[in-house]
Amino acid sequence: SLDLAEFAKKQPWWRKLFGQESGPSAEKYSVATQLFIGGVTGWCTGFIFQKVGKLAATAVGGGFFLLQLATLTFASLQTILGTSKLTGNEWRRT
């Protein structure tokens, strides 16, 4: 069978790029260090996704608000100008 990790370690470009000791992080760092790094990166990822999620929700909600405002404004203008077949109250019921 072909072990890709062993194959990659034998390649000269791999050693130049990552160095001789480029094994799994479990071999290089203590458990406490791994937990700390994982906790910090997890917190940062959550923080970024929270900000992006709020921005996306605001954009979608704002788009729906503007669409509703444009529809109501257009209907009001039709009623005022008399170009609509329906009056204001009849239009809202349909």
pLDDT in tens, 6-37: 776 677 776 666 666 656 666 677 888 888 98
Cα 25 from Cα 15, distance rounded (Å): 16
Cα 58 from Cα 84, distance rounded (Å): 33
pLDDT score of 50: 96
Q: Which residue has the tokens 């791999």?
A: 14
B/e letters for 14-52, b = 16+ CB within 10 Å, e = fewer, are eeeeeeeeeeeeeeeeeeeeeeeeeeeeeeeeeeeeeee
Confidence of residue 55 (pLDDT cuts 50, 70, 90): very high
Cα 94 from Cα 84, distance rounded (Å): 13
Domain ranges of the chain: 1-89
Does the model's pTM come out above 0.85?
Answer: no
